[in-house]
């Protein structure tokens, strides 16, 4: 596949974290506003906000997020951050993106959950209007947090579904806080009608994917460990579940110690629904076009495959059916000249 064509083709991204995807210039602006000093040198800043090359686990990978957290404590900061992520997506021809964030991480100061969510929605909406990209927020509960905190955040988000909020998610320390520890809050979110995705299988724990499926979740963030369990792959396919794959991130967090542990081939062979995502554009130092290129180089993925993955993403997007169909038609038209090429 050709890098220029990959850049220009329309894309759908379902799994992109706000705080892990800020551009360096916007990180500098946010730091100035927050009176936080950063290295003047871009290479030094990049080293601070990218995954450490010697990361041994998800917890190592998450360290750059500590640099960003103090910068996202006001409504203008969140608006700017949300705008920045959509601007980057627009620059590589993403047509629809779901940007996820944890309101709790922006509540160290004076912001309420609702104010944090509204600020992100406002930033997404401004960038949508400016760049012609459709964008929704996904609101993350942190699995290590007390249930009342998480449930208050979901309660604030639920009335905004269809008005800038697409749905919810659980993120954070999966190894120490498996799905059972957040079952009540997941059920609470579902009872509010919040469409849910769920990080699972990022810590060599296939059982967490099974538990998320059993809880009724049909979009799984990462799903990396599913490759260890062929029977679970069959259940995943039978459930019609969608995998939000994040290759570069998985190799950095050691969710997959090597390519053989990354479940793409097994999922594809089983006919599973697959989507390709960046996870964190800045922390993982990647773009969606770059991820597509890697799938081409490493797994022989073709333009026709990419169209199929994008159609899967469009069909799984947390938007009304008529918007999914419009997105699907647009993608089909954009890929049509390339689907017979390699
Ligand atoms: Zn993620």
What protein residues have CB closer than 5 angstroms to ion ligand 1? 279
> What is the rounded distance in angstroms from the CA atom of residue 93 to the CA atom of residue 254?
29
- Cα separation, 304 vs 300, in Å, equals 11
Q: Give the integer Cα–Cα distance in Å for 27 and 9.
A: 28
Positions of the chain with pLDDT lower than 70, given as ranges: none
Would you tell me how many other CB atoms lie within 10 Å of the CB of residue 158? Answer: 18
Q: List the beta strands (DSSP E) in the chain.
A: 11-17, 94-101, 134-142, 165-171, 198-200, 219-222, 242-245, 273-276
Residue (of 130, 129, 27, 34) closest to 80 by Cα position:
27
DSSP string, 289-318: HHHHHHHHHHH---HHHHHHHHHHHHHHSS
Residue 237 neighbours by CB under 8 Å, 6+ apart: 270, 271, 272, 273
Q: What is the tens place of the pLDDT at every residue in 5-27? A: 999 999 999 999 999 999 999 99
End-to-end CA distance of the chain: 6
pLDDT for the residue numbered 330: 98
User: Do 12 and 99 meet the contact criterion of CB atoms below 8 Å apart?
Assistant: no
Catalytic residue among 13, 202, 291, 293: 202
DSSP 171: E
Q: Could you tell me the distance, in angstroms and rounded to a whole number, from the CA of residue 310 to the centre of ligand 1? A: 18
**Alpha carbon of 203 to ligand 1 centroid (Å):** 12
- Output the CA 171–ligand 1 centroid distance in Å: 7
Distance CA 71, CA 80 (A): 11
What are the percentages of helix, strand and coil residues in the chain, rounded to 5? 55, 15, 30
Q: Residue 213 has what pLDDT?
A: 98
pLDDT at 27: 98
202 catalytic per annotation: yes
Q: How many alpha carbons fall within 13 Å on the CB side of residue 191?
A: 8
What whole-number distance in Å separates Cα of residue 126 and Cα of residue 123? 5
Displacement of CA 340 from its chain's centroid (Å): 29
Distance 340 CA to ligand 1 centre (A): 32
pTM to 2 decimal places: 0.97
Alpha-carbon gap, residue 12 to 311, rounded angstroms: 8
Q: 199 alpha carbon to ligand 1 midpoint, in Å?
A: 6
Backbone angles phi, psi at 158, to 5 degrees: -55, -45
Structure confidence at residue 45 (pLDDT): 95
Compute how many other C-beta atoms are within 10 angstroms of the C-beta atom of residue 51.
Answer: 22
């Amino acid at each position: 596949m050709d890098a220029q064509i990959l850049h220009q083709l329309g894309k759908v991204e379902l799994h992109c974290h706000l705080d892990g995807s800020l551009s360096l210039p916007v990180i500098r602006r946010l730091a100035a506003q927050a009176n936080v000093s950063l290295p003047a040198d871009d290479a030094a800043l990049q080293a601070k906000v990218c995954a450490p090359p010697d990361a041994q686990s998800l917890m190592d990978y998450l360290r750059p997020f500590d640099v960003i957290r103090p910068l996202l404590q006001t409504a203008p900061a969140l608006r700017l951050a949300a705008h920045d992520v959509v601007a980057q997506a627009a620059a590589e021809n993403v047509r629809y993106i779901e940007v996820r964030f944890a309101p709790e991480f922006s509540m160290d100061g004076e912001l309420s959950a609702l104010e944090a969510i509204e600020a992100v929605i406002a930033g997404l909406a401004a960038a949508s209007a400016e760049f012609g990209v459709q964008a929704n927020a996904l609101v993350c509960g942190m699995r290590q947090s007390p249930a009342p905190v998480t449930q208050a955040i979901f309660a604030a988000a639920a009335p905004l579904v269809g008005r800038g909020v697409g749905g919810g998610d659980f993120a954070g320390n999966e190894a120490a806080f498996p799905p059972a520890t957040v079952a009540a809050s997941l059920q609470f979110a579902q009872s509010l009608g919040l469409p849910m995705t769920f990080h699972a299988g990022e810590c060599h724990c296939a059982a967490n994917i099974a538990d998320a499926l059993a809880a009724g979740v049909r979009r799984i963030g990462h799903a990396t460990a599913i490759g260890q369990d062929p029977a679970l792959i069959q259940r995943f396919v039978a459930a019609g579940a969608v995998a939000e794959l994040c290759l570069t991130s998985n190799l950095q967090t050691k969710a997959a110690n090597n390519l053989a542990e990354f479940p793409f081939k097994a999922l594809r062979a089983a006919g599973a629904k697959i989507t390709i995502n960046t996870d964190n554009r800045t922390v993982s130092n990647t773009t969606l076009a770059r991820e597509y290129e890697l799938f081409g180089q490493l797994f022989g993925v073709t333009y026709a495959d990419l169209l199929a993955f994008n159609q899967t993403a469009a069909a799984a997007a947390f938007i009304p059916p008529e918007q999914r169909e419009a997105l699907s038609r647009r993608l089909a038209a954009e890929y049509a000249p390339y689907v017979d090429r390699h």
